[in-house]
Structure 1
Amino acid sequence: MADVFSKEKRSEIMSHVRSNGNRATEEKLVSLLRENGIKGWRRNYRLFGNPDFVFPKKKIAVFVDGEFWHGHPTRGQIPKTNREFWLKKIEQNKIRDNLVNQTLKDKGWIVVRIWQHELKDNRWFQKIKIALDLEGDRGELNMSNKIDEINLFIQDELAKLKLNKVGAVQAARWLDSTGLLKDSKNRPGLPLRRLLRDGKICEGKKEGRFWFIYSIHPCMNPEGKMSNSE
């Protein structure tokens, strides 16, 4: 179906959506932070990349990213009008996001990126809580920034295996105490050790208190049998 708006009108609409969406999203997170008793954050804090929220004493920068403008792999729907322009624009945003992340990390900051849709469940809380727990343990900084990438990979691969979807955030936060991965509704789900034993998870690594999973393809040993890696 053709876009009913001209290129100029579509650009104006998208710009308006971005401006209003940012304000509404930030206000939503303000309410959530207050409701959950999370303190020590500030808005409009002068820092490279202009984070939406900053925990100055703990050196944590929080960005709330819109799915469209920051290129969510499955939720960012590109307008059909002037498609190449929008693809280029979003790719530039992603490059800038990576630059901001790396620059802040090099300066000793923990960077937390939250998708707008994650404000509807407890994933935003878990990301911030993990960052607060990691404060003072900068050796785990690089691992914390892989959460989104690992989460998408885990959900895709477990879906192929017809297993419950699992969030990497939940796994990272809870696995050490319960021995179970939690499913997408935050219910106790799959025992990691069993999946490792049965060869359904090739690679899992524990960093401090947290488990991070890198591969869920079935593991085969040189004889062609499932590995029993623990």
Structure 2
Amino acid sequence: MAQEDVQQWLPPPGSWASSAGNRRSMLGNRNKNTSPELAIRSLVHAVGLRYRVAAKPLPEMRRTADMVFRPVRVAVFIDGCFWHGCPEHFVPPKTNPGYWSEKIARNVLRDRDTDRKLHEANWTVLRFWEHQDPAICAAEIVQTVLIRKR
């Protein structure tokens, strides 16, 4: 293996990664088009509803929702159990626990701040966990969007 090939897998100086393997793993994590998102989106699309994917509900926000129904102001978030601290499934990592507990706490605070800002702008926010049944999630999304269309 060439020197430059090895270098790409090593954490840069000051990196948050505790090892090169962890860095590779983290770089491979998706932030959109995850399996739970695709399953829910497929069901909602099949009903005939159209939406934006990985879009900013509010132009001034740096945060994106997984599904955005702009005309009716509905933002949908499908939260990963690890990244958003699911009360049922989150297991704190044994490696670098201080970093991860702070990181997950910041994510949860950011989620609550996002909810608050969207509610203040008269948006309906729907949040689901990745482990929830896609059919149940899709049904709630469809019902909410259709009610807001009236």
> Fold-level match, TM-score > 0.5?
yes
Equivalent residue for 1:123? 136
Q: Is the 8 A contact 2:79 2:127 kept in 1?
A: yes
Q: Where in structure 2 are there 5+ consecutive unaligned residues?
A: 1-16
Pick the aligned partner of 2:18 from 7, 23, 27. 7
Equivalent residue for 2:78? 64
Separation (CA, whole Å) in 1 of partners of 2:32 and 2:68? 16
Give structure 1 regions of 4+ aligned residues with deviation exceeding 3 angstroms.
none
Q: Secondary structure at the match of 2:28?
A: helix
Q: Where in structure 1 are there 5+ consecutive unaligned residues?
A: 1-5, 138-230
Q: Is the 8 A contact 1:61 1:109 kept in 2?
A: yes
Q: Is the 8 A contact 1:53 1:63 kept in 2?
A: yes
Q: Is the 8 A contact 1:7 1:81 kept in 2?
A: yes
Equivalent residue for 2:42? 31
Q: Is the 8 A contact 2:32 2:66 kept in 1?
A: no
Separation (CA, whole Å) in 2 of partners of 1:135 and 1:82? 44
AA matched with 1:75: H
**Alignment deviations for residues 152-182 of structure 1 (CA, whole Å, 9 cap, x no partner):** xxxxxxxxxxxxxxxxxxxxxxxxxxxxxxx
Aligned residue-pair number: 128
Q: Does 1:46 align with 2:59?
A: no
Q: Is the 8 A contact 1:67 1:75 kept in 2?
A: yes
Go from structure 1 to structure 2 and tell me whether the alpha carbon gap of 1:11 and 1:123 turns closer, same or farther (over 3 Å shift). Answer: farther
TM-score, normalised to structure 1, is: 0.49
**Deviation (angstroms), 1:134:** 4.6
> How do 1:149-160 residues align onto structure 2 when only pairs under 5 Å count?
none
Q: Is the 8 A contact 2:49 2:142 kept in 1?
A: no
Separation (CA, whole Å) in 1 of partners of 2:39 and 2:139? 16
**Alignment deviations for residues 84-138 of structure 1 (CA, whole Å, 9 cap, x no partner):** 21111000000000000000100010001111111x353212431342255279x
Equivalent residue for 1:99? 113
Q: Does 1:55 align with 2:69?
A: yes
RMSD across aligned C-alpha pairs, in angstroms?
A: 2.3
Please say which of residues 125-134 and 93-102 is displaced more in the overlay: 125-134
Q: Is the 8 A contact 1:41 1:54 kept in 2?
A: yes
Separation (CA, whole Å) in 2 of partners of 1:76 and 1:7? 20
**Deviation (angstroms), 1:12:** 3.9
**Deviation (angstroms), 1:30:** 2.4
**Deviation (angstroms), 1:16:** 2.0
Equivalent residue for 1:132? 145
AA matched with 1:39: L
**Alignment deviations for residues 173-205 of structure 1 (CA, whole Å, 9 cap, x no partner):** xxxxxxxxxxxxxxxxxxxxxxxxxxxxxxxxx
> How do 1:17-28 residues align onto structure 2 when only pairs under 5 Å count?
17=29, 19=30, 22-25=32-35, 26-28=37-39
TM-score, normalised to structure 2, is: 0.73
Separation (CA, whole Å) in 2 of partners of 1:74 and 1:44? 26
Separation (CA, whole Å) in 1 of partners of 2:104 and 2:66? 19
